[in-house]
Structure 1
Amino acid sequence: MFKYLKRLIIFLLVFLFAFQTYRIHRNVKNVMQYKEMVEETLADNDTKANVELVLAMIYTETKGGEADVMQSSESSDGVANSITDSQTSIQQGVSVLSKNLDLAEAAGVDVWTAVQAYNFGTAYIDYVAKNGGENTIELAESYSRDVVAPSLGNTSGESYFYYHPLALISGGRLYKNGGNIYYSREVHFNLYLIEIMSVFS
């Protein structure tokens, strides 16, 4: 009986791993269809952003499965999902990222602060500059709790569980209306994920 259960558990784990790998590969393939569009957009802009970073952000935002692939509508006109085509989404997303990268360089902070500011807003760059100059989970958490969440109505520190492997390592909780404190870490991880999966495309 014990041997049977052991084999069943091993089979289920292998199956889950294979299924998850298949899903990731499919999502990466979906994101890679925007590579040429990203390259063209970057070529038309004076920017420090690169193709790999933008593709990793697309993967993080939507996995390429929505028209607003970079979820850049709110940064454009303050209205969610107002952008209805991928090219406009990428153009707006690259514009915001490029601005963040320039501001981060001027403030003397790391690139990942600029990436996190894509989720939090540009004011996060000044916050990091005044608190050590490097984006960390601790800084992102305090900014989410003390600045972002209250500005959007969460003044009580209400939080919820966030089921993402990278988040679970650091506690796995986000503040309601407080953005994603793990955003830059996810983008960083997805850079490598896309690179690895692209080998098998």
Structure 2
Amino acid sequence: MKRKRKSIIGRLFMLFLLIVLIIGIRYIYMLKKQVTEVNKWQETVSQTAEEYGISEYEDIVMAIILTETKGNHIDLMQSSESKYGTTNQITTSEESIHSGVAHLAEVINESNNQGTDIWTAVQAYNFGSNYINYVSKNGNKNTIELAETYSRDILAPMLGNNTGKQYRYMNPQAFMRNRGYLYENGGNFFYADIVRWNMSIMKKIDKLPF
């Protein structure tokens, strides 16, 4: 009886490992496909980053594209709002990159002027440039804790959420930290952390032999 039980447990464990392996392979394949789509815009990103004087942050631009659209949308950098003040106004991916890089260059320059770190600028790409001034008065370094406070106490109320209303956000970083939520109208306070993670992932995926 004990042998039979051990045999069943062993089979279940092997089945579990097989399922984990299949899920892992599928996830890596999906990531590889997404990164390949983003990499198609490498030359345009490189030229545009040079034009706006932020060539050293080219990897961040690529990671923003992966974060925003995974390379699968006309508005690759979701830059319509920063240029036009409303969504769905961008008509070409080239325009999206130019507008997105221009906005990123603007917040990077402002961040440098105020002595904050590069990830403050990246978070400001999502929050808006006022976040840079907030960070400069609170330690000069972006953190998830600081970004969440800004999202909850400043950005969300400014855009109409005065009750701290939340909504589900099923992203791995968010799920591990707070079981997955953001504040309605409060932007994404995980944004800089996700871009940094995606930048690291892209470098690893690019080294895969397939």
- TM-score in terms of structure 2 length: 0.92
Deviations 1:115-157 (A, max 9, x none): 0000000000000001111101111001100111112221110
Q: Distance in 2 between matches of 1:85 and 1:49?
A: 25
Does the residue aligned with 1:128 lie in a helix, a strand or coil? Answer: helix
Q: Are the counterparts in 1 of residues 46 and 55 from structure 2 also a CA contact under 8 Å?
A: no
Quote the sequence identity (%).
41
Q: Distance in 1 between matches of 2:94 and 2:56?
A: 17
- 5+ residue gaps in structure 2? 1-7
Does the residue aligned with 1:50 lie in a helix, a strand or coil? Answer: helix
Q: Distance in 2 between matches of 1:153 and 1:70?
A: 25
Amino acid at match of 1:89: S
Q: Are the counterparts in 2 of residues 49 and 94 from structure 1 also a CA contact under 8 Å?
A: no
Does the residue aligned with 2:187 lie in a helix, a strand or coil? Answer: coil
Name the structure 2 match of 1:15.
22
Q: 1:48 offset after TM fit, Å?
A: 5.9
Q: Larger Rg: 1 or 2? A: 2
- Seen in structure 2, the aligned counterparts of structure 1 residues 123 and 189 have a Cα distance that, compared at 3 Å, is same
Does the residue aligned with 1:174 lie in a helix, a strand or coil? Answer: strand
Moved over 4 A (4+): none
Does the residue aligned with 1:84 lie in a helix, a strand or coil? Answer: coil
Residues 144-159 of structure 1 aligned to structure 2 (within 5 Å): 144-159=151-166
Q: Distance in 1 between matches of 2:56 and 2:120?
A: 13
Q: Distance in 2 between matches of 1:22 and 1:152?
A: 39
Q: 1:43 offset after TM fit, Å?
A: 2.4
Q: 1:79 offset after TM fit, Å?
A: 1.3
- Seen in structure 2, the aligned counterparts of structure 1 residues 49 and 147 have a Cα distance that, compared at 3 Å, is farther
1:190 to 171, 193, 198: 198
Name the structure 2 match of 1:86.
93
Kindly report the root-mean-square deviation, in angstroms, between the aligned alpha carbons of the 2 structures.
1.2
Matched, 1:41 2:48: yes
Amino acid at match of 2:12: L
1:25 to 19, 32, 40: 32
Q: Are the counterparts in 1 of residues 173 and 194 from structure 2 also a CA contact under 8 Å?
A: yes
Amino acid at match of 2:207: V
Q: Are the counterparts in 2 of residues 48 and 101 from structure 1 also a CA contact under 8 Å?
A: no
Q: Distance in 1 between matches of 2:136 and 2:149?
A: 14
- TM-score in terms of structure 1 length: 0.96
- 5+ residue gaps in structure 1? none
1:117 to 124, 132, 147: 124
Which sits farther off after the overlay, 106-115 or 6-15?
6-15
